[in-house]
Structure 1
């Protein structure tokens, strides 16, 4: 059992960050929203409807996932972005790439959008693959955006470019963010600390820091920074 009596509410149009130690169940929550599997007990609701009542294809059409290791297919950059939306136009693909901070590096390649990505995107760097995955998600225009440690495997330069692209995409969208670096989620509307399969505490960064040394979030921040957390 991973989640044990977990209760979590996420308001539409808000950003909620999930934090906690490895194995606490953060990615499991993402998997339940995508309906990769169903809970043994309890339910997942979207817009007050049990997720099981939705057509699975329709549900996933409104959800986009950007993970730590993005999935790219053996095809061109254009084809990989276009997977986000059927019958997408050239202008829509390029607009998504611009918003994902990807258009500039794509245009600088000899074959531009016709550049072959290779199996699993082997021809591209980690930051380039991540921004193509973000462009695909932007093209999809999802109601719910899931970010599972989307920047944790990148160097600092690539991370800044990808983080900027993500922040553009998160505006006025329901976002669930799993972050390894706690400094990247301090602006979230709400932060939920997952511990022992439950929500140990939830609130804004300042609210959770104010709980002091006995707080689970305070302890996580102190562990990463090596000093006293600040508001």
Structure 2
């Protein structure tokens, strides 16, 4: 797969990118900001379309799916302009509650613990771990300790997956993933 943002067509974000996520498994996408992790999730949500290659869900190219099937009317709870009356932890809990209520087959998580306080992190992580069970989950993480329990970790660099395996396997390989983990401890 190859992708560049339309506003920067000569700067490739992803190239030679290939990733398979098996049904009912959890995968963590990791690396520094700007490597394309969120773009991968954006493809699945159809915010972007790939230029070369394809993204398939259950063997069907997602460009052939009707985007409207995923859009439901949201909850009408008044939370202030853009949720200003809510803390980061409260916003995350609402997102998790919506995911539980909708019971999606595919769960996309982008930096679940990035905007919450230390006290809320454990509660939110436990809730996320519970809703990931028996569903396909793609989780983007900067903090590697949040993806210790996923089935597989994909380390992205230079627009492609350069390492993939369990957290423990990647730590033992002493490659780029373990070096990044060492910087975070």
| TM value normalised by structure 2 | 0.89
After superposition, the C-alpha distances for 1:155-200 in whole angstroms (9 at most, x for unaligned) are 1111112111111111101000011210110111000000000000
More helix by share: 1
Listed as ranges, the gaps of 5+ residues in structure 1 are 63-72, 81-115, 226-231
- Give the structure 2 partner of residue 179 of structure 1: 141
After superposition, the C-alpha distances for 1:36-92 in whole angstroms (9 at most, x for unaligned) are 11011110011011111111122x259xxxxxxxxxx8xxxx634xxxxxxxxxxxx
Give 1:31's match in structure 2, choosing from 35, 42, 50.
42
Which structure would you say has the larger Rg?
1
CA distance, structure 2, for counterparts of residue 162 and residue 196 of structure 1: 31
Counterparts in 2 of 1:13-92, with a 5 A limit? 13-58=24-69, 60=70, 79-80=76-77
CA distance, structure 2, for counterparts of residue 150 and residue 206 of structure 1: 22
- Give the structure 1 partner of residue 176 of structure 2: 216
Change (3 A) 1:45 1:53: same
CA distance, structure 2, for counterparts of residue 165 and residue 210 of structure 1: 28
CA distance, structure 1, for counterparts of residue 47 and residue 79 of structure 2: 27
CA distance, structure 2, for counterparts of residue 157 and residue 207 of structure 1: 30
Listed as ranges, the gaps of 5+ residues in structure 2 are 1-11
After superposition, the C-alpha distances for 1:3-31 in whole angstroms (9 at most, x for unaligned) are 01100000000000000111111000000
More strand by share: 2
CA distance, structure 2, for counterparts of residue 18 and residue 220 of structure 1: 13
Give 1:167's match in structure 2, choosing from 124, 129, 132.
129
| TM value normalised by structure 1 | 0.72
Whether contact under 8 Å (2:32, 2:142) holds in the other structure is no
CA distance, structure 2, for counterparts of residue 20 and residue 169 of structure 1: 24
